[in-house]
Structure 1
Amino acid sequence: MIITKTKEEIKLMHESAQIVSKTLGMLAKEVKPGVTTLHLDKLAEEFIRDHGAIPGFLGMYDFPNTLCMSPNAQVVHGIPNTKPLIEGDIISIDCGALKNEYYGDHAYTFEVGNVSEDIRRLIRVTKESLYKGIEQFVSGNRVGDVGYAIQKHTEKNGYGVVRELVGHGLGKTMHEDPQMPNYGKRGRGKKFLEGMTVAIEPMINMGTKSIKQLPDGWTILTADGLPSIHFEHDVALVDGIPRLLSTFDYVHEALGIKTNEEDAFRLDLAKL
């Protein structure tokens, strides 16, 4: 069942999502060769609690940490550890926070030092696909329209779209209806409703779309060992159009990235 949100609830969700966004912005300055993912995890937990929220992933389904940290060929759900990051790595950082009974859930893939041009292209195309998916989250469209847009953009560039893992509705629970696959057919699936809140999160592989799982029961990897990229935004359907609850602004500021990619989707709280 799809749970739509009032505008007051959307404001609360925006607050939770922004805490996650700020956490990622803080971490952006810390991601560098020699740093361990466990160190980044501890920084994130402290930051989230200092901002009056609770780490959203810690203990959920018995997950042991605050962040899902997935380097290189890991797609998602990597467990933080004491292995240092090295020059040329990439690292997907997926973070959740719970405040005022609502979740924020947000992810960014970071470069560790200098990465290859092939990886930069994969990062760029995956991020582009995120916004192409968000563009389709409008009144009158359906789940398949978002998935189709992401799939079309990434597959035409030669990449694999993970099938087994999907985006999702978001609210008082981390995973609500509907599921939001990153593939699909236009006009298929559940219809978008005013007040819907979803997490759209393309998981795109450089090679095969196939994946496998480590014995730890969490970590998902590409089946061919090639890199995977993951980006995620929280989005609300407000007055028939998509409005971002999360933002990459804090990450971009920390990394010196200038872009207008979010301008079409910004939420004006004063107008809610």
Structure 2
Amino acid sequence: MVRMVGASSIQPRILCSFVGGDYSFIQSTRPLHPLFRYNPGSKHVFMQLSRTFSGLTNLLFNRRNLDELPGSKRKSLRPGKVSPHRPVPDDIPQPPYVKSRKPPGIASGPEVHNQKGIDCMRASGRLAAQVLEYAGTFVKPGITTDEIDQAVHQMIIDNGAYPSPLGYGGFPKSVCTSVNECICHGIPDSRALEDGDIINIDVTVYLNGYHGDTSATFFCGDVDDEAKNLVQVTKECLDKAISICAPGVEYKKIGKIIQDHADRHRYGVVQQFVGHGVGRVFHADPVILHYRNNERGRMMLNQTFTIEPMLTIGSINPIIWDDNWTVVTEDGSLSAQFEHTILITPDGAEILTQC
């Protein structure tokens, strides 16, 4: 899950007990179930956009009124009906922010782990990856994003974990489903997927006190070459960024390698949403920028964080829907995203969120 950054320092940013080694998990057999505003210095990160956040124009908070997008047969996204809150069994531990009902902010300091913490991160990361893979099997024309949410929710709780997005700052669902022009934080609802759609599914699980966070963009039916290429290049950006990670490497090199690759293909890199430290807390230092920057900081051994680039075919400017969560591109152009949680190792980086 991504974090949102603020406008106060970096322009043009405007918004922000594990036992044993068996990492196999139960696939649910039941039927189908940021973001953030980051103010440097204040150490507060919120999953929702603020309607009074400085530097924003009214444009960012108005839904487009177009039924069809210029030069495309694809219809503009419209919100559907959101189903009631899905329950979590009382015996499954919940993250502290669920009871508070308030965004917890960003934890100061990086997530650096001992061996027990590394084992727990591997377990939560592997479960997140398996849930994401399972969710992807439901992507087909006619399936609703709410049905995907139901499948995700059930598989997570069947494995004794908590779906991290549920109740974070009031987020109403267990997964984010971002279709077509949705950059991130799409709320699962009654909208059925259509042939030719692309959809990012963003899964985070809280298992044995540790969060594992991952996302991928999937094809629905017959997807055109323009969308396929965007998705492919976005995945390549993530892979290239992970490949340069190691102890002592500057975080800013992540943004450079992503921006360089996106530029070669003439895609935009969304700047308002970032990667983040993840582990015992959902969001921690460092802020991982996906575009060229001069931010300080270097990677540390046994540290965990996410990298989650979002690329667009057109405008990189975000618009927030009235639900205060769903973020779409200003011009309705397609957006794609991929995300992994990684562990910094002596030899480089280990991807924790893969099956």
By the TM > 0.5 criterion, same fold? yes
1:176 aligns with 2:176: no
- 2:218 is paired with a residue whose SS is strand
2:255 equivalent among 147, 162, 165: 147
Structure 2: how far apart are the matches of 1:221 and 1:115? Answer: 19
Instruction: Report SS of the residue matched to 2:273.
Output: coil
| Aligned positions of 1:207-226 closer than 5 A | 207-226=314-333
Partner of 1:118: 226
Distance 1:193 1:7 in 2: 15
**Contact 1:159–1:208 (CA<8 Å) still a contact in 2?**
no
2:44 aligned residue: none
- Measure the CA separation in 2 of the matches of 1:172 and 1:140: 23
Which residue identity is paired with 1:172?
R
Identity within the alignment, %: 34
Q: How does 1:11-50 map to 2 (within 5 A)?
A: 11-50=119-158
Paired with 2:299 and 2:333, the residues of 1 have a C-alpha distance of 34
Alignment-mate amino acid for residue 102 of structure 1: Y
1:172 counterpart SS class: coil
Stretches (4+) displaced over 6 A: none
Identify, as 1 or 2, the structure richer in helix. 1
The amino acid across from 1:207 in the alignment is G
Distance 1:143 1:213 in 2: 28
Matched, 1:239 2:239: no
User: What does residue 194 of structure 2 align with?
Assistant: 86
Bigger mean CA offset, 6-15 vs 63-72: 6-15
* SS of equivalent residue, structure 1 residue 166: strand
Larger of the two Rg values belongs to structure = 2
3-state SS, counterpart of residue 57 of structure 1: coil
CA distance in 1, matches of 2:149, 2:179: 14
Is 2:214 aligned against 1:106?
Answer: yes
**How much has 1:97 moved relative to structure 2?**
0.4
> Residue 296 of structure 2: which of 160, 178, 189 is its match?
189
Partner of residue 90, structure 2: none
Q: Structure 1: how far apart are the matches of 2:311 and 2:292?
A: 14
Quote the RMSD (CA, aligned, Å).
Answer: 1.1
Distance in structure 2 (CA, Å) of the matches to 1:2 and 1:45: 29
Cα shift readout 1:133-169 (whole Å, capped 9, x = no counterpart): 1112112211100111111101221011011100001
1:184 deviates by 2.2
Gaps of 5+ in 1: 250-272
d(CA) in 2 for partners of 1:56, 1:140: 30
Matching residue's letter, 1:200: I
Answer whether contact 2:247 2:345 (CA < 8 A) is retained.
no
Report deviation, 1:52. 1.4
CA–CA distance in 2 between the matches of 1:106 and 1:139?
22
Name 2:244's counterpart in structure 1: 136
1:268 is matched with none
Cα shift at 1:208: 1.7
Shift of 1:5: 1.1
- Structure 2 unaligned residues grouped into runs of 5+: 1-108
The residue identity in structure 2 corresponding to 1:234 is: T
Per-residue CA deviations over 1:216-269 (Å, capped at 9, x if unaligned) read 10001111100000100010001141011111x4xxxxxxxxxxxxxxxxxxxx
SS at match of 1:61: helix
* Structure 1 length-normalised TM: 0.88
CA distance in 2, matches of 1:208, 1:155: 14
